[in-house]
Amino acid sequence: MSKIFRSPCFRPEQKVKFIGGEGIIREIKSDFNTWIYHVEMALGKEPIFGRIGAETTIVLHESELWG
């Protein structure tokens, strides 16, 4: 038996907000009956000593995001 999944509420490259910050959706994956989003957090002002490493990406469920 196949299940019909609803479409994700958000799309790649869309700006979203969540508790603790905001970011841009970089990847979307289905997870049973919901969607999981990889969100790249917005960067603040660059520190005097420059940036070290890549930007921070967090994984959030759809219910944790709003547009």
Give the pLDDT confidence of 9-66 residue by residue, as tens digits. Answer: 999 999 999 998 899 999 999 988 889 999 998 777 777 877 666 568 999 999 999 9
**Residue with the larger pLDDT of the pair 4 and 27:** 27
Q: Which run of H or E residues covers position 3?
A: none
Measured from the Cβ of residue 8, the count of other Cβ atoms closer than 10 Å reads 17
> So what's the pLDDT on residue 1?
47
What is the DSSP code (8-state) at residue 4? P
